[in-house]
Structure 1
């Protein structure tokens, strides 16, 4: 546990008592604060009471009297589409609002930090797509190289559940826009921006607000080194703002095309990763045969992880060896079976159109299972991106409406996963791939994308 420091003897209210909320309450108590807890659900309140925490309804009169801060869970809106009433009340009372990420950065460098011979470092990864794979890949590279590390944030453990880092350790964090948007302290040593595409637009008031939330990771504390994907305009803008000019070694640009200038660049093209510095090639890696990183989108993830590892001082050869042993993450281009010459790939994490488009480019002949709860931002990115698709099989409560976006693409409205898998398997030919890449959220039929991916795997298992 990382004890939260700076609130000794003070009252701090915690709103939202899921995984991160209860973790925050425990870390506040470990640091000497009194945690006052609340959740709109009975289950969350009961869990907090069972651990001895005091429940305080933030909407009661004088609830914020003497409260030093309100710590809210990432999923609770604080601005758009409208602030949660408890957060609005805290702001009206002049009580600072923060989240567990802010508390983590505020507390991490205190305590025994000065006694480390090699101070621990933090690598923070954000972006629309690929941040989970990139974060896990960085951790895998470090572990393979024998460097102690911990992985947390939007993937795996909550940040305050981490153990205090040991000498020379690296903490790798995956951070969503919900987490970076509100954190009052953001001071990673290395910050990574993978890419940007429309997502969570209702929560951020549009694309500008969404990008602004991501940009805070680079603007609030100023990392020692930044890894920026520059294939999109927002990435190029961010890289330009962070650089003091051509050749600034604090910036590493990642792209799918050759870049001008004499900077530090990592480029992936036609399955090859190339590192150049000051106009000269420093390393080259063939990514095409790496089973855990299929497709151009995963090659970009590999480039971002490679750049972060190089910024940490690892050699190209050590990184290359680790790339070849990376097995990938569940629900992200996860090859789960091959039956009668047909591959079955679970990319349930492709919850937006851009992520699905990247998955569709990774395989030559695809039976595509898609559909679900559509997100803001539209389906325009699908235009011209379905050339590898033999046929689509549409799931979701509004499957017929989703199918309208497929225009002339051969498709079948299936409704549920069992029907979609059965129909795709019946029609698939050897050499083809049955790909779950929904291009939509899962909440119309499932609790989360993991449950959707597990259902896909269950239905595929029945085929055997």
Structure 2
């Protein structure tokens, strides 16, 4: 645990008692704060009370009169589309609002670090797509190379639940826009921006607000090194703002599908090969084409980001390549769940938006595509480049008819349920094809989350193939 500093003897309120909320409450108490907690869910309140926390309705009149800070969970709106009533009350009362990420950065470190030969580092990853894979890949590469590493934030453990890092240890954080937008302290040593595509626009009042939330990690965090994906104009703009000139190697530009040029530090993947260039010369190259845990151009971009980040921490190209080759992938992200002869079954349930699904479609040549769910704003036009790879679509979800209408030129069968979609895809798949779950939509019309959707897909595939779970 990382005890929260700065609130010893003060009252702090915690709103939302999920993983991050309870973790923050424990860490605040460990740091000497008097913690008051609230969640609209009675079951969550009961769980907190069992741990000895005092539950207080934070909408009660006068409750913020002596509160030093309100700590809120990332899923609770604090600005758009409108603030949660409790957060609105805190804003009205002038009480600072923070989250567990802000508490972590203000509390990390201590006297013990004075005796370390190498100070611990924090490496933070944000972006629209690929940040979970990139974070897990960085953690894996570091661990495989013998470096102490902990994975936390939006993946792995709650950020305040981790152990204090040891000599030379690295904390790898995956950070969502919800987390970076609100955190009052953001001071990573290395920060990574993977890419940007429209997502969570209601929470940020549009694409500009969404990008601004990501940008805070760099503009306010002031990392020693920034790894920036420059395949979109927002990334190119961010890299330009951070660098003092073309040769400033505090900024490492990364790209997928094209070569980068110039005097700076660059890592890019092209035709399946990753290349590192510095000062106009190539210094390393890795063949990514046969790495099963990283299929497709989108995963090659993730590999570039992880390579650049770990190079910024001092790892050698040889050690990084060994880590890339031993990486098995994350569940629900281009996850190979089964094979039947020359037919592969891939679970990419995390592809909840159009851009992520497009990258999954582009990763394979001939696809039996299971798609659909709760559609997001913006339509399906962004999938156009990937549709020629689709042999047939099997559409699930309550909006299956509407979804299928957005797939011009694609043979689409309205299946509605995962059970029927998998059964049809298994029956019709031919050698050399991939049965791919890449929904391009949220899961909440039929599942609690994308993980449950992916687990259902994998279980039904294995049942259809007669394999043990």
TM-score tier (shorter): over 0.9
**Residues in 1 aligned to 2:147 and 2:385: alpha-carbon distance in whole angstroms:** 43
State the secondary structure of the residue aligned to 2:160.
helix
Counterpart of 1:356 in structure 2 is 357
Per the alignment, residue 206 of structure 1 pairs with 206
Q: Tell me if structure 1 keeps the 8 A contact 2:358–2:385.
A: no
Aligned mates of 1:156, 1:147 — CA distance in 2: 18
- CA deviation after TM superposition for structure 1 residue 111, in Å: 4.6
Matched, 1:459 2:460: yes
1:261 correspondence with 2:268 = no
Secondary structure at the residue paired with 1:36?
strand
Cα distance in structure 2, aligned partners of 1:447 and 1:159: 23
- SS in structure 2 at match of 1:406: coil
Structure 1 partner of 2:285: 284
Indicate if the aligned counterparts of 1:202 and 1:376 stay in contact, CA closer than 8 A: no
Once the two structures are superposed, residues 363-403 of structure 1 have per-residue CA deviations (whole angstroms, 9 ceiling, x without a partner) of 11100000001112332211232111000000001111111
CA distance in 2, matches of 1:460, 1:260: 45
Counterparts of residues 288-307 of structure 1 (less than 5 Å): 288-307=289-308
Retained in 1: the 8 A contact 2:127–2:195?
A: yes
Task: Give the structure 2 partner of residue 35 of structure 1.
Answer: 35
TM-score, normalised to structure 1, is: 0.99
CA distance in 2, matches of 1:370, 1:432: 16
Contact 2:379–2:406 (8 Å) recurs in 1 = no
How many residues align structurally?
464
Structure 1 Cα separation of the partners of residues 381 and 156 of structure 2: 33
Which SS does the other structure have where 1:37 is aligned? strand
In the TM superposition, residue 342 of structure 1 has moved relative to its aligned partner by: 1.4
What is the CA–CA distance in structure 2 between the aligned matches of 1:408 and 1:349, rounded to whole Å?
Answer: 25
For residue 417 of structure 2, what is the aligned residue in structure 1? 416
Aligned twin of 1:272: 273
Cα distance in 1 for residues equivalent to 2:379 and 2:7 = 44
Moved more, 22-31 or 401-410: 401-410
CA distance in 1, matches of 2:435, 2:185: 44
Which stretch shifts more, 251-260 or 316-325?
A: 251-260
| SS at 2:65 equivalent | coil
Q: TM-score with structure 2 length normalisation? A: 0.98
Contact 1:201 1:377 in 2 (8 A): no
> What is the rounded CA distance, in whole Å, between the counterparts of 1:218 and 1:401 in structure 2?
40
Deviation larger for 102-111 or 286-295: 102-111
| Deviates most, 374-383 or 286-295 | 374-383
Unpaired segments ≥5 residues, structure 1 = none
Are positions 1:157 and 2:154 aligned together? Answer: no
Residue 434 of structure 2: aligned partner? 433
Asked whether the 8 Å contact 2:375–2:399 carries over to 1, the reply is: no
**Contact 1:372 1:444 (C-alpha < 8 Å) held by counterparts:** yes
* Distance of 2:121 and 2:406 partners within structure 1: 45
**Structure 1 partner of 2:248:** 248
Aligned-partner Cα distance in 2 for 1:284–1:426: 41
Once the 2 structures are TM-superposed, how far is the Cα of residue 156 of structure 1 from its aligned partner?
1.3
Residue in 2 that maps onto 1:196? 196
Do the aligned partners of 2:180 and 2:217 also contact (CA within 8 Å) in 1?
yes
* Alpha-carbon distance in structure 2 between the residues aligned to 1:113 and 1:14: 29
Q: Which residue of 2 aligns with 1:400?
A: 401
What's the offset of the Cα at 1:187?
0.3
Provide the rounded CA distance (Å) in 1 between the counterparts of 2:61 and 2:10. 19
2:314 matched to which residue of 1?
313
Secondary structure at 1:234 match in 2: helix
Q: Which residue of 1 aligns with 2:47?
A: 47
**2:124 alignment partner in structure 1:** 124
Q: Equivalent residue for 1:8?
A: 8
- What is the match of residue 97 of structure 2? 97
